[in-house]
Structure 1
């Protein structure tokens, strides 16, 4: 059925319902998306955001309701029909093919949509190169032949993210969904993406921007849509809301935006970890700092600053070539993760899905992984009772939302998964805990819980190193912040004497 297209929005979601085995994911959600507008889809994990995205992109059918695209009504869409209608989705996992080149990945959507879901035996290489160069230039990436030939698997995660966005631009989509597009981007790349969004908006493209980073959403501007428990709580210009109001709409409760760190947890005479001239070739050099008992020490910097590599070195994942690490006054060797664990240094990696968790395994098995050797009985079998008690205590102490510890970790939301990973390392009774991007991809409610856990751990005397590029996170939680640039510690700040603008300026300035 057709309606008057001059009056019709670009896309409408009309009274959409969706439930899974008795659990409602969406309850009567209705939305309108106009051409040339940016919409921020916000809500806690489990609120229905992912289900809504999948219905619009054709990955799942609704149980009830319809989609109206440029006046044409659809009871449901297939992924190919959505692509043909101009709907392109940049998923959180990017959906890039690692063994194909940059150019081939960019041209993939155009090929699929143009040939009814089939790939031709050969690409038109000349046309492909021109399309890829134009799309790559739009997101600030090089468009030369050498870069276009590079395999996706050879590129860092941040670059892959921009390539996935370039693919949407290449397909000339009219409605682009971006699911957590800035998760792995540095601040410079985020600024570049904001410029890309402005360009898309000027060309009449509607963008649905899914994010947990409220500061970015306010910077970008546009409309905000808030979901909670599968229902639309609010929609309107984001400038009409405060961050506190949006957080309350998302969670149903008031969340503080003040510093969690009220009292400094440091004692200048009680050094727990002392790092001297630590270096790893081509990654970082001559890094020295002290961590005090009960301190939360932030480490930040751009993607090439060496901050990530430093975290991995202290965890024994990618050991340093030179320098020393002293723990409680004793020189320690951190050549392997087992060395770090033996010294009671816990490490929560940045990529919990690929480096941290066994997604198809039960919560219990994920929690006890670091403690298996101590849970074995005299027959070398795991003591099931003790393992169960440890897992249940972790779930209780860290407020992990699950009916039982036999559920697979992949059944949990991102914030609950992260707490399982933190709980694994708390089980070793750590002296030092390294948290690498602990709230990446988690909602504001889960962030609040994780922050409060961090504060509680510091009060227990655990030294915490927080590796992050989330500036509000650093300022709210840390005692001191180390700024890394080009592999070296360039500056040190007291978090309670710095604001976000000052830290942002320091992050981007060439000189410390």
Structure 2
């Protein structure tokens, strides 16, 4: 349904432009959103999706154009005006208050809207509990008093994600924006969210769903809107487009959807041997051998121990039993410095809080792991060598930036991830641990990262790819290890394995 075909739209964006220093982020975007419809907003990082969301939610004003909500015209909206108009946003960073309870967070936006941007000095606890219970039940979370009173900061990331979605339901919003809401959710939780979206749609709520996961978009159904370079390039029923067509619309080029892994590497020496590795109750008796140039996938549900294994192999949260050998020599990984000394690189799942120094330059982020070897004879950083290393990394990994002195937070998610990968390539790694390397990354950047992975393996680097993205594992790996309840429960050759077979195995192991 195109803009001109929407009768009595709930919300319209008309001729919106937004410019930042040197960047024209939105170029005359015009959209109309019908009541009770789901829209998928797709595009590469940097295409203007985040800017559009911020303008609709009142976080930023447009430079030109207007927003029309139920017939009322606005040159701009403030966040409070957006809330009062029934516009609710689940941001990628969740925007929850960690030192408040689950129930208080669920009731937060409705409280702000009702009290002119201020929280009431005292909550009506009975009403708050009733409202929270209904919303929590809708997203599949416990609704009892104990869970409602739990501090949000103590919850795992996936549960916090669901709390943020429950807040939307409690606010009885008319227009809901969900920015990458399934990033940390399991398949079961995603299925539950799809049911929640169907319920919202049936109630006449309009949803703008931002995601890089096309399979989820197809499962949800509805309309698709594609942005590229700040302009709308396509809109229509998502069922009318193939994955290949959407990828080409987003990137402006044709992308591969078959296996990136053309053939398994020839028999090679074992570079990393893990035997009987354990850490408390998180994982135990984990054993595997990684060969030089091999890409070994590790997957499992959130409580399988795969995330904790990644951190142990990087020395971030060391194991307390078992052995690790590198090229046949036993090593101890008690700290990240140990891993770096043995030339084991680690790209963490959360690049923002665990990986990057957001306010530092691209150059500084790239050379961080090499500081000691880039000092001159006076102990000072050799800035020329540092700059050359950073510039070479930017070129080799196709990082889009006009200046390596710009802060890394100015980059899109895909470019930030390549900066992080580039940091560890600078140490000339023997082994690279990639933990969710394409989380929150668009299809174009995924393609580049996958090709980088294949190139690294061809140069003899052993890669452990820890991911819950099944197509990612099947497209890139030689073997895939399945983990469940802290143990390795299965091993599969990726060549010839289908996503349906791998998913069935995942569910069977969990059961």
> Runs (4+) of structure 1 moved beyond 6 Å?
none
* 1:371 aligned residue: 370
Deviation at 1:87, TM superposition (A): 0.4
Whole-Å separation in 1 of the counterparts to 2:483 and 2:347:
20
Deviation (angstroms), 1:497:
2.0
Aligned residues: 506
Distance across 1 between alignment mates of 2:407 and 2:62: 26
1:301 is aligned to 2:295:
no
**Larger deviation, residues 53-62 vs 457-466:** 53-62
Q: CA deviation at 1:511?
A: 6.4
Map of 1:284 onto structure 2: 283
| Contact residue 359 and residue 410 of structure 1 kept, 8 A | yes
Query: Which moves more between the two structures, 253-262 or 18-27?
Result: 18-27
Q: Give 1:165 deviation, angstroms.
A: 0.5
Contact 2:270 2:292 in 1 (8 A): yes
Q: Could you say which residue in structure 1 is the equivalent of 2:163?
A: 163
Query: Residue in 2 aligned with 1:265?
Result: 265
* Residue 408 (structure 1) aligns with: 407
The reply on whether 1:84 has 2:84 as its aligned counterpart is yes
Aligned to 2:208: 208
* 8 A contact 1:265–1:296 mirrored in 2: no
Q: Report if aligned partners of 2:303, 2:485 keep a CA contact under 8 Å in 1.
A: yes
2:206 aligned with 1:222: no
- What is the rounded CA distance, in whole Å, between the counterparts of 2:471 and 2:509 in structure 1? 21
Cα offset for 1:354? 0.3
Shift of the alpha carbon at 1:23? 2.3
Partner of 2:62: 62
Looking at structure 1, the residues matched to 259 and 420 of structure 2 have their Cα atoms a distance apart, in angstroms, of 24
Indicate yes or no: 2:104 matched with 1:104.
yes
Q: Secondary structure at the match of 1:66?
A: strand
Cα offsets for 1:107-166 (capped at 9, x unmatched): 110110001111111111111011111111010000111111111111111111111010
Q: 2:432 aligns to what SS in structure 1?
A: strand
Matched-pair contact (CA < 8 Å) for 2:7–2:34: no
**Structure 2, unpaired ranges of 5+:** 1-5
Corresponding residue for residue 74 of structure 2: 74
Secondary structure (helix, strand or coil) at the match of 2:169 reads helix
Task: State the 1:32 CA deviation.
Answer: 1.4
- Output aligned runs, 1:247-266, within 5 Å: 247-266=247-266
- For 2:37 and 2:470, how far apart are their aligned partners in 1? 27
Counterparts of 1:43-442 in structure 2, within 5 Å, are 43-267=43-267, 270-442=269-441
Q: Secondary structure at the match of 1:89?
A: strand
In the superposition, the TM-score normalised over structure 2's length comes to: 0.97
Provide the C-alpha distance between the structure 2 equivalents of 1:476 and 1:109, rounded to a whole number of angstroms. 42
In the alignment, the residues of structure 1 paired with residue 266 and residue 134 of structure 2 have an alpha-carbon distance, to the nearest angstrom, of 52
Task: Report the CA distance shift for 1:62/1:488 in structure 2 as closer, same or farther (over 3 A).
Answer: same
Query: Does the 8 Å contact 1:94/1:164 carry over to 2?
Result: yes
SS in 1 for 2:53: helix
Is the 8 Å Cα contact of residues 266 and 293 (structure 1) preserved in structure 2? no
Secondary structure of residue in 2 paired with 1:60: coil
2:90·2:168 contact (CA, 8 Å) conserved in 1? yes
Considering only aligned residues, what root-mean-square deviation do their CA atoms show, in Å? Answer: 1.2
In 1, Cα distance between equivalents of 2:339 and 2:64:
53
CA contact (8 A) 1:15 1:64 kept: yes
Deviations 1:340-397 (A, max 9, x none): 1111100000000000000000111111111111111221111111111111111111
Q: CA deviation at 1:266?
A: 4.9
Residue 497 of structure 1 pairs with residue 491 of structure 2: no
* CA deviation string 1:225-249 (max 9, x = no partner): 0000111111100000000000100
Distance in 1, matches of 2:20 and 2:330, equals 54
Whole-Å separation in 2 of the counterparts to 1:76 and 1:385? 46
Could you state the TM-score of these two structures normalised by the residue count of structure 1? 0.97
- 1:354 aligns to what SS in structure 2? helix
Query: Unmatched 5+ residue regions in structure 1?
Result: 1-5
- Identify the residue that residue 3 of structure 2 maps to in structure 1: none
How much has 1:21 moved relative to structure 2? 2.8
Task: Give yes or no for contact 2:301–2:510 (8 Å, CA) kept in 1.
Answer: no
**Secondary structure of 2:30's partner?**
strand
Superposed counterparts of 1:20-31, under 5 Å: 20-31=20-31
Question: In structure 2, what is the equivalent of residue 3 of structure 1?
Answer: none
Distance 1:173 1:499 in 2: 40
Distance in 2, matches of 1:403 and 1:22, equals 10
- TM-superposed CA distance for 1:459, in Å, is 0.1
Measured in 1, the distance between the counterparts of 2:19 and 2:480 equals: 45
